[in-house]
């Protein structure tokens, strides 16, 4: 024996009822006996309540509304019963509507709608849907019978939520089913008192009917047919990656539903649970899908938790005071007074210091709760033993639920760590000793971010997302997007990582789309859909979107953009950048960015500030963390100048080599930054700071290699013209060096707290002699690398190596976020 139950959407239209009929026919073919419970057609119960209220308010428009409800039922009859059999069902439907019209007429006369009358009015929803579907089944020659649950389920006279008398009900159900072998089509939600007055079963009503019938008949299982794919790991409207939980225990289902998961209402399934009846949650609109099994204990768990649910809107009440410490009876009085005022408490937390108790409630009860408690503790408040009662609003609760928590350590660690890494403040927390649920109270504005990031870490086998906001889509930014495009498949399949480009901007246009801008067509989308660039608006929108695992990638050389880094880090958004401006301004600015990132638990990464993708900053940070001391740094830090001095000879012209360096993507957006030594100056300054030498920009001694006319050229074009004119000047230095078997190298040195940059001629014995292309070379002499320095060498400029360095920083954030 089993019991099937179809909810409102399943019986809400001709098409969905066709599917229901098919499911019933298949079950009949299998031969196992079953009963079926129906809800009212979707939306009908609410409509009937509305109609009842209109009638009692003397609003005659209810008649039209009622016609609409009637028409929906007629449409089902017309759509699903052969014409020759329709008239009797039409008459039966009309008969019920006549009865309902009379009741509503009475309501409109006496202008009063009691709970009792409302129950009667609502009962028509299930009576109509069930009667019509029974007639459809009969018209197909099936042995089906309409069963008015008022005949079998008895409650007391608490209208709106009758209390079931199980002794009588169980006996009546057994007797009723013993008398007939036909398929019983049972009205959900409704019941009656012993005197035959109609009542209803309250929240989850039709599930309750199915559960009562199944328990009385000792059924093997209950199938709850609804409009979703079973119970999900999280609300799919809030967490796009949520998926169906294949197997869940009764207790877990209870916990999840308490915190807002509304697929089923487990308390109403208690009679079935008490008899160990298996529940299946199935989708009428996806019939072949397995759905969710709800059983006493769940089968083989893959994850440490089973699901996540939330309550969007709660208020937190905090009562504290020195007079509460060690005083018995405070919490007793607190909760008794709330309960006497029918204020239900969702979560309670008290620190062991007993100095404060906080609890969360529905915000609509907040004002009343405050008044009740001020009255209850008036004496203590007067004496100053209890401070005033503080209510915080705009909060949400998230609960992670799962029996698996009992067996595995680190679940709460993982929860709080992911919240921390995403900058989500936990206002209050509670865990029951059953270890079935850990609840956290957070700001409502963080709810979506929190749900998604928690879901990401606990259901690891799903693909996680990193949300990238890239400003600057020139050489480096553009190459980065191309590299992301080429790696998308690999990262998805091998690393279960989705790099979601959620925002892009150049100086003209910007586009933000939390659903992602595909790297395949980013340019066309930015051109078509982008709006005029405004950096403050870009940053503000990013912060408002509050997406989990957000990373801001600055691929500009802009000076003003840096002012937003603080704001971003403060909003717990990591920053990755090849732009050297932030780290080469004042030392205090550099320090404060480092500190903000540290305080907020996010990352500020800039490996490509020095030597492009070469692992220079990471190497220094590793050595510093492990306690090494830097004695000297000697380095060639300009890919552009390295390229120039590696290729400039008597056969070519200096200006052409500079142009070639620019064409190869080695130069700064303005190549004067390279040739003036400014870029190398910034880099040695950053290295100095990284090794703990707090230099300011003006303390770097830069020897100029450019003659005055080039240095002072007002524009890039003018600069190139001056370079042409100055060719003899460069040729002379070059040929002098060449004549002596030497090579020109622009070398930066940091020693004894001082940094300088000079153009030097080096001979073949010098370690910097053999360089080619855009090579950088850095030699670190440290306490551990004293006799033979640690040397890092390789291409230190260019689009591919720089973009891949930025990419590596992004990947390290993804590993950090877990």
Ligand X SMILES: N[C@@H](CC=O)C(=O)O
Residues in contact with ligand X by CB under 6 A are 612, 638-640, 666-668, 674, 679, 796-797
How far apart are alpha carbons 433 and 375 in whole angstroms?
32
Nearer to Na ion, 11 or 616 (CB): 616
Task: For residues 167 and 205, give the distance between their C-alpha atoms in angstroms, rounded to a whole number.
Answer: 19
CA distance 609 to 615: 11
Task: Name residue, tokens 């009962």.
Answer: 123
Nearer to ligand X, 612 or 762 (CB): 612
Phi, psi of 147 (to 5 degrees): -120, 110
**Residue 508 lies near ligand NDP (rule: CB under 6 A):** yes
CA-only gyration radius of the chain, Å: 37
Given Na ion, ligand X, ligand NDP, none, residue 247, with its beta carbon under 5 to 8 Å by kind, binds none
3-state secondary structure of 536: helix
Which of ligand X, Na ion, ligand NDP, none has residue 506 at its interface (CB below 5 to 8 Å by kind)? ligand NDP
The Cα–Cα gap between 765 and 771 comes to 13
CA atoms of 646 and 776, how far apart (whole Å): 12
Query: Which one among 114, 507, 649, 770 touches ligand NDP, defined by CB under 6 A?
Result: 507
CB nearer to ligand NDP: pick between 223 and 554: 554
For ligand X, which is the closer residue by CB, 230 or 805? Answer: 805
The secondary structure of 474-516, three-state, reads CHHHHHHHHHHHHHHHHHHHHHCEEEEEEEEECCCEEEECCCC
Distance CA 670, CA 716 (A): 7
Question: 170 or 577, CB closer to Na ion?
Answer: 577
User: Which one of ligand X, ligand NDP, Na ion, none interacts with residue 614, CB within 5 to 8 A by kind?
Assistant: Na ion
Pairing relationship of beta strands 437-443 and 428-431 according to DSSP bridges: antiparallel
CA distance linking residue 360 with residue 260, whole number of Å: 14
CB of 488 to Na ion, least distance (A): 25
Q: How far apart are alpha carbons 617 and 608 in whole angstroms? A: 8
State the nearest-atom distance from the C-beta of 557 to ligand NDP, in Å: 3
Q: Shortest Cβ contact with Na ion: which residue?
A: 611
Task: Pick what 638 binds: ligand X, ligand NDP, Na ion, none; C-beta below 5 to 8 Å, kind-dependent.
Answer: ligand X
At 181 the three-state DSSP class reads coil
Q: Which of 415, 441, 448, 261 is nearest to 347 (CA)?
A: 441
Which phi and psi angles does 762 have, rounded to 5°?
-115, 145
- Torsion of Cα atoms, 290 then 292 then 297 then 299, to 10°: 40
In angstroms, what is the minimal distance from the CB of 544 to ligand NDP? 19
Q: Which is nearer to ligand NDP, 392 or 554 (CB)?
A: 554
- How far apart (Å, rounded) are the C-alpha atoms in residues 39 and 264? 13
* 683 catalytic per annotation: yes
255 binds, among ligand NDP, ligand X, Na ion, none (CB under 5 to 8 A by kind): none
Check binding of 686 to Na ion (CB under 5 A): no
Piece of 127-135, 155-163, 473-481, 487-495 that binds ligand NDP (CB under 6 A): 473-481
The mark string for 125-154 relative to ligand NDP (x by CB under 6 A, - otherwise) is ------------------------------
Helices (H), ranges, 284-377: 330-340, 366-376
Please, what is the minimum distance in Å from the beta carbon of residue 347 to ligand NDP?
45
Q: How far is the CB of 776 from Na ion (least distance, A)?
A: 8
Tokens standing for residue 22: 């098919």
Residues 623-662 that bind ligand NDP (CB under 6 A): 639
Bridging pattern class, strands 356-361 and 190-192 = unpaired
What is the 3 state secondary structure string of 627-673? CCCEEEEEEECCHHHHHHHHHCCCCCCHHHHHHHHHHCCCCCCCCHH
DSSP 3-state helix, strand, coil percentages of the chain (rounded to 5)?
45, 20, 35
Query: Applying CB under 5 A, does 798 fall inside the site for Na ion?
Result: no
| From 404, 665, 671, 677, residue interacting with ligand NDP (rule: CB under 6 A) | 665
Check residue 89 for interaction with ligand NDP (CB under 6 A): no
- One of 376, 607, 775, 809 touching Na ion (CB under 5 A): 607
608 binds ligand NDP (CB under 6 A): yes
Q: Indicate whether 291 belongs to the interface with ligand NDP (CB under 6 A).
A: no
Cα of 270 vs its chain's centroid, Å:
32
The residue nearest ligand NDP at its CB is 474
Residue 614 sits in the site that holds Na ion (CB under 5 A) = yes
In the complex, the smallest distance separating the C-beta of residue 795 from ligand X, rounded to whole angstroms, is: 10
Rounded to whole angstroms, the Cα distance separating 169 from 174 reads: 9
Among 612, 644, 655, 680, the residue binding ligand NDP under the rule CB under 6 A is 612
Terminal CA-CA length for the chain: 48
- Indicate which of ligand NDP, ligand X, Na ion, none lies near residue 616 (CB less than 5 to 8 Å, by partner kind): Na ion
Q: Choose the contact partner of 269 out of Na ion, ligand X, ligand NDP, none; CB within 5 to 8 A by kind.
A: none
Q: Which of 683, 743, 754, 760 is catalytic?
A: 683
Q: Which is nearer to ligand NDP, 423 or 798 (CB)?
A: 798
Residue partners of 765: CB distance under 8 A and separation at least 6 = none
Residues 327-386 that bind ligand NDP (CB under 6 A): none
- Say whether residue 547 binds ligand NDP (CB under 6 A): no
Which of 366, 641 has the CB closer to ligand X?
A: 641
42 binds, among ligand NDP, ligand X, Na ion, none (CB under 5 to 8 A by kind): none
What element of type H or E holds 397? Answer: strand 390-401
Beta carbon of residue 499, minimum distance to ligand X (angstroms, whole number): 24
Q: Is 616 in the site for Na ion (CB under 5 A)?
A: yes
In the complex with ligand X, the residue whose CB is nearer, 241 or 483, is: 483
Between the alpha carbon of residue 431 and those of residues 262, 265, 350, the distances in Å are 22, 22, 11
d(CA 279, CA 140): 29
Q: How far is the CB of 561 from ligand NDP (least distance, A)?
A: 5
Q: Which residues contact 57 (CB under 8 A, 6 or more apart)?
A: 111
Q: Which residues touch 573 (CB under 8 Å, ≥6 apart)? A: 423, 469, 542, 543, 550, 551, 552, 602
Residue 139 interacts with which of ligand NDP, Na ion, ligand X, none, CB < 5 to 8 Å by class: none
Q: Which does 561 bind (CB under 5 to 8 A by kind): ligand NDP, Na ion, ligand X, none?
A: ligand NDP
Q: Pick between residue 377 and residue 666 the one whose CB is nearest to ligand X.
A: 666
Q: How far is the CB of 243 from ligand NDP (least distance, A)?
A: 38
Q: Distance (Å, rounded) from C-alpha 295 to C-alpha 297?
A: 5
Q: Are strands 604-605 and 574-576 parallel, antiparallel or unpaired?
A: parallel
Cα dihedral 240→246→252→258 (10° resolution): 40
Q: Is 265 in the site for ligand NDP (CB under 6 A)?
A: no
Segment contacting Na ion (CB under 5 A): 180-188, 582-590, 599-607, 734-742?
599-607
Q: Establish if 556 lies at the interface with ligand NDP (CB under 6 A).
A: yes
Looking at the Cβ atoms of 291 and 611, the one nearer to Na ion is 611
Determine which residue in the list 199, 422, 505, 642 makes contact with ligand NDP, applying CB under 6 A.
Answer: 505
Position 506 contacts ligand NDP (CB under 6 A): yes
Of the residues 93, 282, 346, 555, which one makes contact with ligand NDP according to CB under 6 A:
555
Residue 666 interacts with ligand NDP (CB under 6 A)? yes
636 is a contact residue toward Na ion (CB under 5 A): no
Cite the active site residues.
683
Q: Which residues bind ligand NDP (CB under 6 A)?
A: 471-477, 505-508, 533, 535, 555-558, 561, 578-580, 608, 612, 639, 665-666, 668-669, 797-798, 802
Q: Which residues bind Na ion (CB under 5 A)?
A: 607, 611, 614, 616
């Amino acid at each position: 024996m089993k019991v099937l139950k179809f909810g409102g959407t399943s019986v809400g239209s001709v098409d969905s009822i066709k599917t229901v009929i098919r499911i019933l026919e298949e079950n009949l073919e299998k031969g196992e006996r079953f009963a079926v419970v129906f809800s009212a057609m979707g939306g009908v119960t609410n409509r009937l309540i509305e109609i009842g209220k209109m009638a009692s308010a003397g609003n005659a428009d209810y008649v039209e509304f009622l016609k609409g409800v009637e028409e929906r039922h007629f449409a089902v009859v017309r759509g699903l019963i052969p014409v020759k059999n329709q008239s009797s069902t039409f008459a039966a439907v009309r008969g019920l509507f006549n009865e309902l019209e009379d009741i509503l007429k009475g309501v409109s006369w006496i202008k009063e709608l009691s709970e009792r009358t409302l129950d009667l009015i609502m009962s028509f929803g299930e009576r109509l849907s069930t009667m019509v579907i029974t007639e459809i089944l009969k018209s197909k020659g099936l042995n089906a019978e309409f069963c008015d649950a008022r005949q079998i389920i008895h409650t007391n006279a608490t209208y709106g939520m009758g209390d079931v008398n199980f002794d009588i009900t169980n006996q009546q159900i057994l007797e009723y089913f013993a008398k007939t072998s036909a398929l019983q089509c049972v009205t959900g939600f409704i019941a009656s008192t012993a005197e035959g007055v109609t009542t209803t079963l309250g929240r989850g009503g039709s599930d309750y009917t199915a559960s009562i019938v199944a328990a009385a008949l000792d059924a093997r299982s209950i199938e709850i047919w609804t409009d979703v794919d079973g119970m999900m790991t999280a609300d799919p409207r809030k967490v796009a990656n949520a998926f169906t939980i294949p197997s869940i225990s009764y207790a877990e289902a209870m916990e999840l539903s308490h915190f807002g998961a509304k697929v089923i209402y487990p308390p109403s399934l208690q009679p079935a649970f008490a008899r160990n009846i298996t529940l299946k949650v199935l989708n009428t609109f996806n019939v072949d899908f397995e759905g969710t099994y709800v059983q006493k204990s769940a089968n083989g768990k893959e994850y440490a938790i089973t699901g996540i649910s939330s309550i969007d809107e709660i208020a937190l009440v905090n009562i504290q005071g020195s007079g509460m410490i060690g005083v018995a009876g405070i919490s007793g009085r607190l909760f008794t007074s709330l309960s006497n005022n029918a204020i239900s408490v969702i979560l309670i937390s008290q620190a062991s210091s007993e100095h404060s108790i906080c609890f969360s409630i529905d915000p609509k009860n907040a004002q009343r709760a405050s008044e009740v408690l001020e009255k209850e503790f008036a004496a203590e408040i007067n004496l100053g033993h209890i401070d005033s009662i503080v209510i915080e609003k705009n909060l949400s609760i998230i609960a992670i639920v799962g029996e698996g928590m009992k067996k595995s350590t680190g679940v709460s660690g993982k929860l709080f760590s992911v919240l921390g890494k995403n900058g989500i403040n936990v206002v209050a927390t509670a865990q029951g000793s059953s270890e079935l649920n850990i609840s956290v109270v957070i700001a409502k504005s963080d709810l979506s971010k929190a749900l998604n990031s928690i879901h990401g870490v606990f259901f690891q086998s799903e693909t996680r997302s990193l949300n990238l906001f890239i400003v600057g889509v020139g050489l480096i930014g553009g190459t980065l997007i191309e590299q992301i495009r080429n790696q998308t498949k690999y990262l998805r399949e091998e690393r279960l990582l989705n790099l979601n480009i959620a925002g892009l901007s150049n100086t003209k246009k910007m586009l933000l789309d939390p659903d992602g801008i595909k790297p395949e067509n980013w340019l066309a989308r930015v051109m078509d859909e982008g709006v005029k660039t405004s950096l403050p608006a870009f940053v503000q929108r990013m912060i408002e979107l509050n997406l989990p695992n957000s990373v801001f990638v600055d691929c500009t050389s802009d000076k003003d953009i840096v002012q937003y880094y603080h704001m971003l880090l403060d909003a717990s958004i990591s920053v990755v950048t090849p732009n050297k401006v932030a780290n080469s301004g004042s030392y205090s600015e550099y320090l404060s960015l480092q500190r903000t990132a540290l305080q907020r638990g996010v990352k500020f990464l800039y490996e490509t500030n020095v030597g492009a993708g070469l692992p220079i900053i990471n190497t220094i940070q590793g050595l510093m963390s492990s306690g090494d001391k830097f004695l000297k740094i000697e380095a060639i830090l300009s890919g552009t100048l390295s390229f120039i001095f590696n290729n400039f000879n008597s056969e070519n012209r200096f200006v052409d080599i500079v142009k070639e360096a620019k064409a190869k993507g080695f130069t700064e957006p303005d190549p004067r930054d390279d040739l003036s030594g400014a870029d190398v100056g910034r880099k040695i300054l950053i290295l100095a700071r990284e090794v703990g030498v707090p230099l300011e920009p003006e303390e770097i001694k830069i020897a100029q290699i450019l003659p005055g006319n080039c240095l002072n050229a007002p524009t890039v074009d003018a600069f190139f013209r001056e370079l042409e004119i100055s060719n003899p000047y460069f040729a002379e230095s070059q040929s002098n060096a060449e004549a002596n078997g030497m090579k020109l190298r622009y070398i930066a040195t940091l020693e004894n707290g001082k940094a300088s940059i000079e153009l030097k001629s080096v001979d073949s014995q010098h370690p910097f002699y053999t360089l080619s292309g855009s090579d950088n070379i850095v030699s670190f002499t440290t306490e551990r690398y004293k006799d033979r320095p640690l040397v890092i060498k390789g291409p230190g400029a260019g689009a591919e190596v720089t973009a891949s360095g930025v990419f590596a920083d992004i990947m390290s954030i993804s590993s950090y976020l877990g």
